[in-house]
Structure 1
Amino acid sequence: MECKLLHEEDASGDARKLYDEISAVYGMVPNFFKAQAAIDTSGLARTGNGHNTQC
């Protein structure tokens, strides 16, 4: 089974915004978040919000 990733250069809209927030925290976008975004961007939003430094 192949795991698909939504790479940073392919991200747009909400995924791009979340990637920017995640990158600000980690200095990169870990593959976990890329895999989650490939499956469900709304799931990425729920996961990413836990890492939002502005909360």
Structure 2
Amino acid sequence: ISANSTRPARWYTKLGFFPDPRPFPLPLSSLFSDGGNVGCVDVIIQRAYPIQV
């Protein structure tokens, strides 16, 4: 278990097996540099510049 792959659950959440095993998206601002692996990152590209050769 790493810091970037886990988050605290709400106090009223029933603990146990979670039927939907997909990774949850995370914003880049919430990741830790030494937090380990990341399951899914939510990225929005606002502007793309042409490549200069």
TM-score, normalising length: structure 1: 0.25
- Richer in helix (by share): 1
Q: 1 or 2, which has the higher strand percentage?
A: 2
User: Larger Cα Rg: Structure 1 or Structure 2?
Assistant: 2
For normalisation by structure 2, the TM-score amounts to 0.26
